[in-house]
Amino acid sequence: MIVVLAGGVGAARFLEGVVQVVPQEEITVIANTGDDREFYGLKVSPDIDIVQYTLAGIVDEKNGWGIRDDTSYTMQQLTNYGNEDWFQLGDRDLATHIHRTNLLKQGKTLSEVTNEMSKHFGLKLRILPMSDQPIATHIQTPAGLFHFEEYMIQRHCSDEVQDVVFIGAQAAHPAPGVIEAIKQADAILLAPSNPVVSIGSILAVRGIHDALHEVSGQIIAVSPIVGGAPIKGPADKLMRGLHMDVSAVGVARKYRDFLDEMVIDTQDAQLANAIEDLGIPVSVTNTIMRDSTAKAELARHMLRAAGLNYS
């Protein structure tokens, strides 16, 4: 069994490679839910949606989120009623949030809802939210404390980052199966996701970080920072705010207490020594997932680093 710790777009693209190499039935994704937020009373789980839409082949590939060719008639009318419109939710996408919210209201857990929806998408891999309890990643800035989505989408990451907090994480439990999956995995792959808010929020859930010290499989990470900048998203601003190096070295340092190998891009080869100085083995490969083949190659590389051979 392979476990992937996953954020949003980067993780979804990475998983497109993993599913080419590993049978879906052998994959468990532990998904960040720290970005979850209610809009108009509907529960939105952006990272779960991105992963599901991507693997279901319906994602809007240009944005990396949302459903392809979606329309926005419902949001236009919601705006007419005086609602905020900074978080774009298409009509088909809204069906996901309506359906999820309704099932949660009926007493199902987010794990159960996610599992049910995966089946509707025809997915065979298991997607576990990091927790069934609400956890809300917030960014402390000079202008105040903002939900991550507000900081990123509404305020365009324009505020200086002073701190990142995961409200609810200390009280939350990992979702059923999360700890077992980590401990029993043959390999644990950290997707090229934001180390502060995506992987960071997963690590903040009580018990998950500790479980990474009790694994039998190898833990392999790939840096989302290449050439000193994130492939996508605001990881650089967040890392800088937390006084981390905006580089594969900074990422490795974040994961150093449990990481078995750091995978970095060929253009960052010169950083290998600095990471090895942290006591972390390094391998260098092409990590830019330009196409389907590159995605599969990266997955294969990371699995080989974990001692697993998939052809």
Least distance (Å) between residue 216 CB and its own copies: 37
Residue 162 carries which DSSP code?
-
Q: Which chain residues interact with its own copies by CB under 8 A?
A: 40-42, 67, 70-71, 73-78, 80-83, 90-96, 98-99, 101-102, 105-106, 117, 120
**Amino acid making up residue 32:** N
**Amino acid making up residue 74:** T
State both tokens at 172. Answer: 């939350």
What is the distance between the alpha carbons of residues 200 and 183, in angstroms, rounded to a whole number? 19
Q: Which CB sits closer to its own copies, 78 or 167?
A: 78
Burial classification of residue 68, based on how many CB atoms lie within 10 Å of its CB (0-12 exposed, 13-18 middle, 19 or more buried)? middle
Least distance (Å) between residue 122 CB and its own copies: 11
Residue 154 near residue 56, CB atoms below 8 Å: no
What is the distance between the alpha carbons of residues 147 and 149, in angstroms, rounded to a whole number? 6
Q: Which CB sits closer to its own copies, 38 or 163?
A: 38
Least distance (Å) between residue 58 CB and its own copies: 10
List the one residue out of 1, 45, 18 whose CA is nearest residue 201: 45
Q: Which CB sits closer to its own copies, 104 or 288?
A: 104
Q: Which CB sits closer to its own copies, 1 or 78?
A: 78
Least distance (Å) between residue 186 CB and its own copies: 33
Q: Which CB sits closer to its own copies, 113 or 220?
A: 113
Least distance (Å) between residue 270 CB and its own copies: 48
